[in-house]
Amino acid sequence: MFADVPLIPEAASTHATAMDELFYFILGVCLFFSTLIAVLIVTFAVRYRRRSEAERPQPIHSSLKLELTWSLIPFVFMMVFFFWGAHLYFSWAHAPADSMEVYVVGKQWMWKMQHLGGQREINELHVPVGRPVKLTMISQDVIHSFFVPAFRVHMDVLPGRYTTLWFQPTKPGRYHLFCSQYCGTNHAKMIGEIVVLSSDDYQTWLNQGVDGGMAQAGRKLFQKLQCVTCHSADAKARAPVLEALYLSEVHLDNGKIVRADETYLRESILYPDAKIVAGYKPIMPSYKDQVDEEEILQLIAFIKALRPGQTPPRTESADPPLNPILDTKQGK
């Protein structure tokens, strides 16, 4: 499947085109000045060579104009490289607000993908053409790196910490996915594909049978772990209300304020004593050895979808729908 990997992969995303423009500009500048310097070295070596033992070179006086020229020209080019690169970096660091979200767990030696709609994949990721896709990634064991050459995207996937990247495919097809960080014996086999489909084909793929979305799976896990016993959102609640918590400001008992993003939620599940919410006692147990990274992502998806009045009762026989925006986002 990966026998025929081109030296220069095709450009199949909006990132690829912008990256290639900068790369070829830097390459052209470097080739020009490398050639110029090499030619000048050879020319001066021949023209100003010593022709006899008695020859003595004439004193050379410095030239301010010459020194400024060979200092300012490289400086100008370096500033162009810097600001162009910084512009691209900041545009790639923040995914568009309407990005489709996918969660990725790297482990020896495979890529495990979870869509908000509940679809799961191993070493494959199906996405629609022309739509930005945001990946939230974490490793279950060692450091991996998510690398798609045709999209010109690359990001380390770290244990114990979420990293993100986003891309927008520009043409349907199947594109190589590699782990570019040596991660153990079978590192070379940690490969996969990004499958870019047309809108109609992607909708057909989405409509395959799935038993609920990630948020619903997180809701069931929330019930199974008895989290609702304390996070009940009623008068008997012994822990903070989780409704509309995601990305809100959380006041801690030490006077600090933190933002309830994915990293904070994961830390609160695994290490609840790390940041105690003001007004509550540190009574929550750690779930470090009870849930894996995929289940943590499901719990986070549930909390992200939780809106006022949607906290599950202490006992329930059905699964009422959560935030419809998050639960159906993938299918739009």
Q: Give how far the C-alpha of residue 325 lies from the chain's centroid of Cα atoms, to the nearest Å.
A: 22
Whether residues 147 and 227 share a domain: the answer is: no
> Could you tell me if residue 71 is inside a domain?
no
> Could you tell me if residue 167 is inside a domain?
yes
For residue 211, what pLDDT band results from cuts at 50, 70 and 90? low
> Could you tell me if residue 322 is inside a domain?
yes
Mean pLDDT of the chain: 87
> Could you tell me if residue 17 is inside a domain?
no
Whether residues 282 and 323 share a domain: the answer is: yes
Whether residues 218 and 325 share a domain: the answer is: yes
The residues near 39 (Cβ < 8 Å, ≥ 6 apart) are none
What is the domain extent for residue 112? 100-206
Q: Give how far the C-alpha of residue 52 lies from the chain's centroid of Cα atoms, to the nearest Å.
A: 65
Whether residues 195 and 118 share a domain: the answer is: yes
> Could you tell me if residue 221 is inside a domain?
yes
> Could you tell me if residue 87 is inside a domain?
no
> Could you tell me if residue 176 is inside a domain?
yes
Whether residues 166 and 108 share a domain: the answer is: yes
Res 317: pLDDT: 44
Whether residues 225 and 197 share a domain: the answer is: no
Whether residues 155 and 220 share a domain: the answer is: no
Q: What is the pLDDT of residues 212-271, one digit of tens each?
A: 788 888 999 998 998 888 888 877 788 888 999 999 999 999 999 999 999 999 999 999
Q: What CATH number corresponds to the domain at position 165?
A: 2.60.40.420
Res 326: pLDDT: 45
For residue 328, what pLDDT band results from cuts at 50, 70 and 90? very low
For residue 331, what pLDDT band results from cuts at 50, 70 and 90? very low
> Could you tell me if residue 261 is inside a domain?
yes
- Stated pTM of the model: 0.80
| Owner of token pair 């009762």 | 313
Contact 123, 177 (CB under 8 A): yes
202-238 core/surface letters (b: 16 or more CB in 10 A; e: else): beeebeeeeebbbbbbbbebbbebebbeebbbeeebe
Domain end point (choices 206, 241, 269): 206
Q: What CATH number corresponds to the domain at position 320?
A: 1.10.760.10
Distances (CA, A) of 179 to 121, 144, 192: 16, 6, 9
Give the integer Cα–Cα distance in Å for 23 and 12.
Answer: 16
- 3-state class of 266 per DSSP? helix
Domain end point (choices 206, 231, 261): 206
For residue 314, what pLDDT band results from cuts at 50, 70 and 90? low
Domain end point (choices 179, 206, 233): 206
Q: What is the pLDDT of residues 74-99, one digit of tens each?
A: 999 999 999 999 999 998 888 998 99
Whether residues 192 and 264 share a domain: the answer is: no
